[in-house]
Every structure is written in structure tokens, then in C-alpha cells.
Amino acid sequence: MEVILVITSFPDKASALMLAQKLIESRAAACINILAESTSVYRWQGETETTDEIPVFIKTLAEHYVAVEKIIKAIHPYELPEIIAVPVKTGLLAYLQWVADEVPIIVEPIIENKI
């Protein structure tokens, strides 16, 4: 069992909530945190951009990363959304087990029917 934290951001809370609902309903993720608005500064197509965004943290298992990425890309309005996965090296064992228990072994068929 390898728990990962998938990080993304959305332009608004409504889109972030839509993502959270899809991920939980499809059982592709155990928990999603939608954080307070933050400011992102980055280069895009040769220009410096400053944008307010909603950071989103997704807790799931490594074997579900592809499914989570597909759902994010299907919902996300950006041409190139931030989608980063970070391995969780350690944590409260009971919590990590809960994450594993909340996502089934096979999520692909569920996801294809939900989007």
C-alpha cells in the first residue's frame, strides 16, 4: 500500500467541489482537502501571470493515480493543469490504512461511467 498526495489547483471553489464529488463518488480517492484561495505567480506563454486559485489536496493510493489524473483532466478548465503526486513516506498508520480501505482495488470501470 503506497499512499500518495495528489496536488492540483482550480480557478474557483465550485470547480474544486465538483472534482471532490467525482473523486469520492468514484472511490478514486479517500479524502480531498479544498484549501483557502491563494495567489499563484508563474510564467505562461512568455508572460508572467498572477492568478488567484484554490489549492486541492487529494489522498489516494499510487495505483489509482492514473484514474485521479483522468478525472482532474476531464473536469479542469485549464489547458495545462497542475497535477503533481507526492509519495507519503510515513504517517499515522491507522490513517494510512483508512485511506487504503476507502479506495477499492479496481476503479477504472467506475470512473468511465461517472464522467
Residue range 80-109: average pLDDT? 90
- Tell which wins on pLDDT, 106 or 104: 104
Of all residues in the chain, what percent carry a pLDDT higher than 70? 91
Q: pLDDT confidence of 106, banded at 50, 70, 90?
A: low
Residue closest to 115 by CA, chosen among 6, 18, 4:
18
| Beta carbons within 8 Å of 23's beta carbon, 6+ residues apart | 29, 32, 58, 60, 68, 71
Q: pLDDT confidence of 114, banded at 50, 70, 90?
A: very low
Is residue 115's pLDDT more than 50? no
Residue pair 23/32 in contact (Cβ under 8 Å)? The answer is: yes
Strand partners, 43: 48
Residue range 81-99: average pLDDT? 98
Render pLDDT for 15-70 as a digit per residue (tens, 0 to 9).
999 999 999 999 999 999 999 999 999 999 999 999 999 999 999 999 999 999 99
pTM: predicted TM-score of the whole model, two decimal places: 0.89
For the chain, what are the domain ranges?
Answer: 3-106
May I ask the CATH class of domain 3-106? alpha beta
